[in-house]
Structure 1
């Protein structure tokens, strides 16, 4: 596990894209929607800004020199959340061939460590309702839906979940 740099941008985008194709595809979204040129540009801009950001953290899971997972975290996106007590897990993506090997749990542990380092008591994330694999992963790690959501693709919302950290 290590902090991502701009030199990691291409492999980070590759892992992100492959993971998205797998979970959105499993939920019924066509590959063309995931690879839409506007979304690809937004993805590149988003990762570049996150890696450069002084308030966000991007970490890579590296196995034998290959980036096999990536996680991004930082202050909550919503102005309704208190950044003094809430940290947001923006993304965890694991290369599909590495699912079930502990990479996601290692990335999740990096988020929990981020919360502890920042003295934050609550984690916040959004997960696509049709991404059953991710919802199950987060539930196993103690996350609970908080009743909030926002619209997502194919009329399936992004469900908001919270993790309470003892402190």
Structure 2
């Protein structure tokens, strides 16, 4: 029998699992986008990830979720207020990141975490979703496009002369 994917709020006890998943997923998508492992793996990055996830887990304004299969943490997502204060984002929530263990990509775990983000928007009475996606992460761009996200025309600099693209999702409705 296959265990269902279950989401739950992350705690600091999940921190090392989350950082490991983030590190492995980040390495996989950056390498798929043409960066070398040396360009992606830096001890200071892992420490910054640990600090960022700790802050998000402890923040009253952010929500961090783990996706589990049985006892295994196989994915994580972080969401909360927009990272920018553009005038049209007052009714928006931002999906900061979704990461799934690379060996589990394509098994619906990301979609379960995405649905949890939609629930977050509905629960907090927000009608617009925001996210940034690395332009060379074609797998993620296809995932978000399938889920109704559209580029808003904005971007910011990324690694190796690339860009992070700004995507929006509106209007938002829960899938559950």
Q: TM-score range by the shorter chain?
A: over 0.9
Q: 1:50–1:72: 8 Å Cα contact kept in structure 2?
A: yes
In 1, Cα distance between the equivalents of 2:77 and 2:168?
Answer: 17
Q: What does residue 75 of structure 1 align with?
A: 81
| 1:103 aligned residue | 109
Corresponding residue number in structure 1 for 2:128: 122
Q: Distance in 1 between matches of 2:87 and 2:28?
A: 31
Q: Following superposition, which runs of at least 4 residues in structure 1 exceed 6 angstroms of deviation?
A: none
Match of 1:13 in 2: 19
Aligned length: 167
CA–CA separation in structure 2 for the residues paired with 1:139 and 1:166 = 14
Q: Take 2:25 and 2:84, find their aligned partners in 1: how far apart are those partners?
A: 25
**Aligned equivalents of 1:124, 1:70: Cα separation in 2:** 17
Tell me, what secondary structure is at the counterpart of 2:65? strand
Shift of 1:165: 2.1
Structure-1 residue corresponding to 2:37:
31
Q: Is contact 2:18-2:76 (8 Å) kept?
A: yes
SS in 2 for 1:110: helix
**Structure 1 residue 82: Cα displacement:** 5.3
Deviations 1:15-37 (A, max 9, x none): 10110011000001111222212
| TM-score w.r.t. length of structure 2 | 0.92
Report the TM-score when normalising by structure 1: 0.96
Aligned position for 2:59: 53
Give the structure 2 partner of residue 66 of structure 1: 72
Q: What are structure 1's unaligned runs of at least 5 residues?
A: none
8 A Cα contact 1:61 1:68, kept in partner: yes
